[in-house]
């Protein structure tokens, strides 16, 4: 009996208990480091597969010169252009040159307007980035609080209404929602501009200013003109709302589901049994854990925003990468199309990597 007591309270327990924190720390640190390394290395095969797929699809229609200029040049002129661009060489040679060009930042030259594709990406990419950030802000501001509200009124009529609105926001085509908003807020009510990133005068000031970033909101702040800033923000409202609602519905349903699930956990039930008000339970115990899945799926939502940006930019004549992509598709300029699609794919892959790392820091279970 004495021996047993000594083992339980004395030196017998220490050798077994002491190494446990050390092993846990080593496993946690190694787990995070290995996770980051693996996720980073996965970017390269992902981008490689996407680049290869886009290249094969673009070349399946023939060489880009013939696709863009066929019928507008004579046979000899067309053959001369094809030879000068190197599209009459073996496909594997073209593929290798394209891969090496991407790694050096050379995406080729557009056929329709003879511009470096990298110039197109840098010129119009800032517009798409600005629209995506605004749309993501709309998704957070609307989706997360409404999801929390739906969970609070679960199985009651406000919950049912919000769930229906979430389904409609996700299922309604982006171009239709954009046209509807333009009809209501621009034509009927005359509250907001119908198209563009800024009015003509403001756009001239922003596009010609020294040290401009291409992000009109930031440039307007640097310019220090309140009227220009107001004009830029007014032009951004409808495109951001149209694109943001697409993701807000996803956030609403995700937050609602996770908050309801957290409210049924044992520690929440224990707090409820001690008389903690339901509203405090929702705010203190159920809300924050429900936000972890939002971070996890954010990478997928970035891809959704970029795909939706193509239709949104076309609907509102917001001159970003999506707008230019449609223009180059109509011109059958497959060199430009290939460069824009590859750049969007790289953005999605890198964003997913960053989101995965953020999720691993927030929730250690992700690493294992």
Q: Is the pLDDT of residue 3 over 70?
A: no
CB 255 within 8 A of CB 294: yes
Q: State the average pLDDT over residues 125-136.
A: 90
CA distances from 144 to 54, 172, 254, 292 (A): 36, 20, 9, 12
Residue 295: the pLDDT is 72
- Could you give all domains of the chain from N- to C-terminal order, each with its CATH number? 107-367 (1.10.3720.10)
CB 71 within 8 A of CB 332: no
Residue with more model confidence, 75 or 321: 321
Q: State the average pLDDT over residues 298-312.
A: 77
Q: State the average pLDDT over residues 325-353.
A: 85
Q: Is the pLDDT of residue 153 over 60?
A: yes
CA distances from 207 to 49, 204, 212, 213, 219 (A): 36, 5, 7, 9, 9
Q: Is 187 exposed, middle or buried (0-12, 13-18, 19+ CB in 10 A)?
A: exposed
Over the stretch 4-61, which tens digit does the pLDDT of each residue have? Answer: 444 444 444 444 444 444 444 444 445 777 878 888 888 888 888 888 888 888 777 7
Of the pLDDT bands very low, low, confident and very high (cuts 50, 70, 90), residue 161 is very high
CB 329 within 8 A of CB 314: no
Q: How far apart are CA 113 and CA 306, in angstroms?
A: 24
DSSP assignment of 140-207: HHHHHHHHHHHHHTTTSHHHHHHHHHHHHHHHS-HHHHHHHHIIIIIIIS--S-SSSSS-HHHHHHHH
What's the chain's Rg over C-alpha atoms?
A: 27
Of the pLDDT bands very low, low, confident and very high (cuts 50, 70, 90), residue 182 is very high
Over the stretch 208-231, which tens digit does the pLDDT of each residue have? Answer: 888 778 889 999 999 888 999 999
Q: How far apart are CA 24 and CA 30, in angstroms?
A: 10
Q: How far apart are CA 101 and CA 85, in angstroms?
A: 14
Instruction: Please tell me whether residue 237 adopts helix, strand or coil conformation.
Output: helix
CB 241 within 8 A of CB 177: no
CA distances from 347 to 204, 282, 342 (A): 29, 36, 9
Neighbours of 338 (CB within 10 A): 22
Q: What is the pTM of this model?
A: 0.79
Nearest residue to 324 via CA among 40, 117, 177, 74? 117
Region class of 332: left (phi > 0), else alpha (psi between -120 and 50), else beta: left
Residue 98: the pLDDT is 86
Over the stretch 249-272, which tens digit does the pLDDT of each residue have? Answer: 888 888 888 888 777 777 777 777
């Amino acid at each position: 009996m004495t021996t047993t007591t000594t083992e339980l309270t004395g030196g017998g327990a220490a050798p077994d208990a002491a190494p446990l924190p050390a092993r846990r720390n080593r496993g946690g640190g190694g787990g995070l480091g290995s996770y980051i390394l693996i996720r980073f290395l996965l970017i390269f095969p992902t981008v490689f597969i996407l680049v290869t797929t886009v290249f094969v699809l673009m070349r399946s229609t023939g060489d880009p010169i013939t696709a863009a200029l066929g019928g507008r040049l004579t046979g000899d002129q067309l053959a001369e252009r094809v030879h000068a661009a190197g599209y009459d060489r073996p496909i594997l040679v073209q593929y290798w040159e394209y891969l090496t060009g991407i790694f050096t930042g050379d995406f080729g030259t557009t056929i329709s307007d003879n511009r470096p594709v990298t110039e197109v990406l840098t010129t119009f990419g800032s517009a798409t980035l600005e629209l995506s950030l605004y749309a993501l802000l709309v998704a957070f501001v609307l989706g997360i609080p409404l999801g929390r509200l739906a969970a609070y009124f679960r199985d009651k009529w406000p919950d049912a209404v919000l769930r229906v609105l979430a389904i409609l926001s996700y299922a309604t085509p982006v171009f239709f929602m954009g046209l509807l908003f333009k009809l209501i807020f621009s034509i009927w009510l005359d509250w907001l501009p119908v198209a563009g990133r800024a009015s003509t005068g403001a756009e001239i000031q922003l596009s010609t200013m020294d040290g401009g970033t291409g992000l009109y909101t930031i440039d307007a702040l640097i310019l220090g003109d309140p009227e220009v800033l107001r004009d830029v923000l007014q032009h951004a409202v409808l495109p951001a709302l149209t694109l943001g609602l697409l993701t807000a519905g996803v956030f609403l349903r995700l937050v609602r589901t996770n908050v309801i699930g957290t409210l049924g956990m044992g520690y929440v039930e224990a707090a409820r049994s001690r008389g903690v008000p339901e509203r405090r339970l929702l705010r203190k115990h159920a809300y924050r854990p429900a936000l972890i899945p939002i971070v996890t799926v954010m990478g997928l939502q970035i891809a959704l925003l970029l795909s939706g940006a193509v239709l949104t930019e076309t609907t509102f004549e917001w001159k970003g990468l999506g707008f230019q992509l449609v223009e180059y598709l109509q011109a059958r300029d497959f060199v430009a199309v290939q460069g824009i699609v590859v750049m969007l794919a790289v953005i999605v892959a890198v964003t997913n990597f960053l989101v995965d790392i953020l999720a691993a820091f927030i929730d250690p279970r992700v690493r294992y």
